[in-house]
Amino acid sequence: MSRIKPGVSKEEAKAKLQALFTMQTKHKQIEENMKKIKYKIGVISGKGGVGKSTVTANLAIELASRGYKVGIIDSDFHGPSIPKMLGVEDKRVMATRDKKMIPVKGPLDIKIISIYFFLPDPTSAVIWRGPLKKSFLEEILASTLFGELDFLLVDLPPGTGDEALNLIQSVNDLTGLIAVTQPTDVSALAVAKSIDFAQKAGVKILGIIENMSGFICPGEGKLYKVFPGKGGEWLSKMFNIPLLGSIPIDPGLAEAEDSGGLYIIEHKDSIFGREFKKIVDSLLRILK
């Protein structure tokens, strides 16, 4: 006969045991569903507005253009933008009879799952507390039919809150994280907190990407520095983490993302395109 601690009713004990069993079952389902994916990489930042989703989308495009099988989880539940950037915002997630989710297939066969597909309207707010976000992420990880992938990129919201912690706790074999910053003191210090968070959680930071490192003048194609503060190089030296690359501001990119265009493919010889190629080359060398 199992013993129950004094002051705890049989109903409470049964509920706790059931919750523990459910959690263990979900983690086993996640492990089983993720085992056909070679690299699982989260993309983080310390603050919003640094272009983290832009980096995630273009990493996926560049990798897929090289023949790799790529998937994206858009886990920025309160500001999902990956579907629009990749031109699939009008599509919806389908489900199998056994309630497995079939991800939306984007350009270059990139498999995409996002709460965006479940919203009744693009302007609908997601008003969730931590436990619901954790439950939804676990359901995505356990039930999405990604199949065999070389890369699964997880676009995380800014900061070191629930979503980042939930990913680390749910995916035991997470390959690592990529930190995105911009060359300002405010951004660099915020990203430093994210790096510290990852180190304390025992997760490897694969590299740092500095976004908005300069502005490409449309008329002359010349690169001008805009922000004078600390950036990727400072973070790289401070934490001894590779700087994968520095991405310039390209006005054409913003226009392409609003329309779902593949700017990095259509302008592969631009400064932006060449720099992103270097970033992926560096990432692949690190992963070897």
**Residue 14 pLDDT level (bands cut at 50, 70, 90):** low
One fold for 50-174 and 179-268: yes
What percentage of residues in the chain have a pLDDT greater than 70? 92
3-state helix, strand, coil in the chain (%, to 5): 45, 20, 40
Higher pLDDT, 1 or 193: 193
- What does the domain layout of the chain look like in residue ranges? 50-174, 179-268
Lowest-confidence segment of 19-33, 53-67, 93-107, 224-238 by average pLDDT: 19-33
Position 268 scores a pLDDT of: 87
Torsion of CA 145, 61, 258, 128, to 10 degrees: 40
DSSP 118: G
Q: What is the pLDDT of residue 195?
A: 94
What does the pLDDT read at residue 82?
A: 96
The answer to whether residue 75 scores a pLDDT higher than 50 is yes
> What single-letter DSSP state applies at residue 35?
T
Residue range 166-177: average pLDDT?
A: 95
**pLDDT, mean of residues 143-163:** 93
Above 70 in pLDDT, residue 2?
no
Q: What stretches of the chain adopt beta strand conformation (E)?
A: 37-45, 70-74, 94-95, 101-102, 104-105, 111-114, 149-155, 176-181, 205-210, 215-216, 223-224, 243-246
8 A C-beta contact, residue 166 and residue 30: no
Tokens of 65: 């253009």
- What phi, psi does 154 have (nearest 5°)? -115, 110
Instruction: Give dist(CA 164, CA 154) in Å, integer.
Output: 10
Structural tokens at position 240: 């001894």
Is the distance from CB of 93 to CB of 117 less than 8 angstroms? yes
As a whole number, mean pLDDT of residues 22-49 equals 90
CATH number for the segment(s) 50-174: 3.40.50.300
Q: Are 245 and 278 spatial neighbours (Cβ–Cβ below 8 Å)?
A: yes
Architecture of domain 179-268: 3-Layer(aba) Sandwich (3.40)
Spatial distance between the Cα atoms of 55 and 45, rounded to a whole number of angstroms = 11
Amino acid at 224: Y
In the three-class reduction of DSSP (H, G, I as helix; E, B as strand; rest coil), residue 72 is classed as: strand
* pLDDT value of residue 171: 95
Contacting residues for 205 by C-beta, under 8 A, at least 6 apart:
176, 177, 178, 179, 195, 198, 199, 239, 241
| Least confident piece of the model among 69-73, 191-195, 267-271 | 267-271
What average pLDDT does the chain have? 89
Q: Could you give the 3-state DSSP secondary structure of residue 243? A: strand
Find the largest Cα–Cα distance for the chain: 81
187: closest CA among 212, 167, 207? 212
Kindly state the percentage of the chain with pLDDT values over 90. Answer: 65
- Check pLDDT > 90 for residue 223: no
Of 250 and 183, more confident: 183
Query: Would you state the pLDDT for residue 49?
Result: 85
Residue 8 has pLDDT above 60, yes or no: no
DSSP letter at 120? S
For residue 23, what pLDDT is reported?
Answer: 64
Cα separation, 215 vs 190, whole angstroms: 22
Q: What is the pLDDT of residue 10?
A: 59
